[in-house]
Structure 1
């Protein structure tokens, strides 16, 4: 019985690795792979019996339409399109170090046939110059998830880039934080939590900039709020600038409507202008985040309220005009 179970696994493994809709395997080819890879010799009757057992179990193995006696595995953990999307996402995610990106892509490749792997192997050799140098990224994730589960604090140091293009924690400040969530926003992965000294305020840190993280299992706090929506929090932090959120009103050109909705979400209040290419929008955002947004989209956006932020933007513009004046 045990040998039969092992044989089922080997047959499934051969079909998974060497077959797909355009590359079915006939019985002779399957038997050859079993002998070459696993040193197993069986007859065709035993092979058909075990393939039927796999199908009875729910594994989707189909006969080829045009090739006699050809079979291929349809049922996979992930579809080709899903694997391709995930591989590209991992490769482009600069917060995942290059070596760990390669390992993740290898694991995803193994869910598909060798023909898919050959076709998209190039994605493993393209160099992404934006990749983070912090090889502790996944360790950070594991420790943070452990802390969330145990409702305890973590300690870590926080790094920034220096002019020599290396990440260092120059101030050597020890951060003590109660993790609440991990989210991906603005092209980065963030730890969202509360500071030990200010438990009522929510803060965030880029996970790829965290170093020397440690779990404080003795420092447990069950009063930390863990039922808030982290994506509501991030929607009020354009470009992930910190600070308290406040209500602001913007007048924007229709050409940036997509950008506004992408950044602030589709629950914002939009007031269009009849026969005019403009709209007003009311959003909740941090002060520095909305100033950054208004300056970035200066040609297509005007901040109407509140007055104090509007005045600050005017001062920024006036003081920086000197940089572009012809001498």
Structure 2
């Protein structure tokens, strides 16, 4: 029989058919395989299909055959199992960092690792309260550009933006560019951050979705002596709301009922001293900031900031200011 145009790719087409049209619940027989190959312009005979399946098995593909009535073949092992794909799809859909458009594209890409029936299960609505999906489509290119700058040991220049009351992004510094030496990308609190050295200011971090007009420069990076890759894992650990600043050792007096949230926030390596009165003392390194005070207040008196004294006084003044703002208004 003369070889058709599709013969050279027949093994690939057969593998695609097995990947897309079979799973443990859906088997395919040889006549159906021949139909699907013919639909792709690939002529084949029954014996050649058996031989090709044997070749794919020899190459390491886990193709299982069930004999008898209703029997057939299916591809048993894949790069991702269905529960793994569901987890990835849910994470993509729930992430506020990934735009809705990109979420759909990524989930469609993930579905290529599943059969057509399993792929339908990936199109699920995941509800993530209080999450607003990003509207910045260029963020993916920003991340790629920053990775290239880090890999090639180059500084970058960019414009940094923020929202105004007209719901528009405007450039900080009056449109003036930032020039920094990028050292790492950090995923924290559902956002990408660039950790970089800015001359005269030291190590700083910047939200990647607020960066625009990123340009790679020819100057080599600065700040190598201030960057410790071993500490990057814990870079954001003492911060609340990614507020930077000096780190202070704080002493917290906590009701026993809040041990879970404390360990969730600070980890199991934190120092805890149980007390006989149903409370415990906790010592942790944090950046004292308004978000930290807000986090403390969220426990409604079940957590007390004991020291340092300056931070305790700062919290007291903050609460006093808030209290004044909520004093009863006199009738006019």
Q: Which residue of 2 aligns with 1:107?
A: 109
Please name the residue that 2:219 is paired with.
218
Larger mean CA deviation between 52-61 and 93-102 belongs to 93-102
Q: How many correspondences in the alignment?
A: 323
Deviation at 1:84, TM superposition (A): 1.1
Mapping for residues 9-48 of structure 1, pairs under 5 Å: 9-36=12-39, 38-48=40-50
SS state at 1:309 partner: helix
Greater mean deviation of Cα atoms: 225-234 or 23-32 = 225-234
Q: Could you tell me how far apart the structure 1 residues matched to 2:50 and 2:161 are?
A: 59
Quickly say closer, same or farther: Cα 1:206–1:256, change in 2 above 3 A: farther
Contact 1:102–1:124, Cα closer than 8 Å, also in 2? no
Q: Tell me, yes or no, if structure 1 residue 189 matches structure 2 residue 184.
A: no
Deviation at 1:314, TM superposition (A): 0.7
CA distance in 1, matches of 2:132, 2:68: 47
Structure 2: runs of 5+ lacking an equivalent: none
State the structure with more CA Rg.
2
What CA RMSD, in Å, does the superposition of the two structures yield over aligned residues?
Answer: 2.7
> In structure 2, how many angstroms separate the alpha carbons of the residues matched to 1:158 and 1:64?
60
Cα 1:122–1:50 change in 2 (3 A) is: same
Distance, in Å, in 2 between the alignment partners of 1:76 and 1:282 is 47
Residue of structure 2 equivalent to 1:260: 262
Q: Which secondary structure does the structure 1 equivalent of 2:114 belong to? A: coil
Which string of whole-angstrom CA distances, capped at 9 and with x for unpartnered residues, describes residues 28-61 of structure 1?
221111111x111211111111111111111111
Whether contact under 8 Å (1:152, 1:217) holds in the other structure is yes
CA positional deviation for 1:67: 5.5
Query: Residue 77 of structure 1 is aligned with which of 76, 79, 88?
Result: 79
Give the equivalent residue in structure 2 for 1:58. Answer: 60
Q: How far off is 1:274 after superposition?
A: 3.9
For structure 1, the residue ranges without an aligned partner over 5 or more in a row are none
Q: Secondary structure at the match of 1:177?
A: strand
Q: How far apart, in 2, do the equivalents of 1:321 and 1:66 lie?
A: 78
Match of 1:300 among 279, 302, 314: 302
SS in 2 for 1:235: coil
Evaluate the alpha carbon distance shift between residue 305 and residue 275 of structure 1 in structure 2; reply closer, same or farther with a 3 A threshold.
closer
Change (3 A) 1:222 1:311: closer
Matched, 1:284 2:285: yes
Distance change >3 Å, CA 174–CA 296, structure 1 → 2? farther
Q: How far did residue 3 of structure 1 move?
A: 6.9
8 Å contact from structure 1 (residues 105, 124) kept in 2: no
Tell me if structure 2 keeps the 8 A contact 1:96–1:132: yes
- SS of the aligned residue for 1:246 comes to strand
Does the 8 Å contact 2:181/2:223 carry over to 1? no
Return closer, same or farther for 1:99/1:41 CA change in 2, 3 Å cut-off. same
Q: TM-score, normalised by structure 2?
A: 0.88
Q: What is the TM-score of this pair, normalised by structure 1? A: 0.89
Structure 1: which 4+ aligned runs deviate by more than 6 Å? 1-4
Question: Residues 166 and 65 (structure 1 numbering): CA distance in 2 closer, same or farther, change over 3 Å?
Answer: farther
Change (3 A) 1:125 1:261: closer
Confirm whether residue 237 of structure 1 aligns to residue 248 of structure 2.
Answer: no
CA distance in 2, matches of 1:130, 1:189: 15
What secondary structure, in the 3-state scheme, does the structure 1 residue paired with 2:235 have? helix
Give distance in 1, aligned partners of 2:166 and 2:260: 37
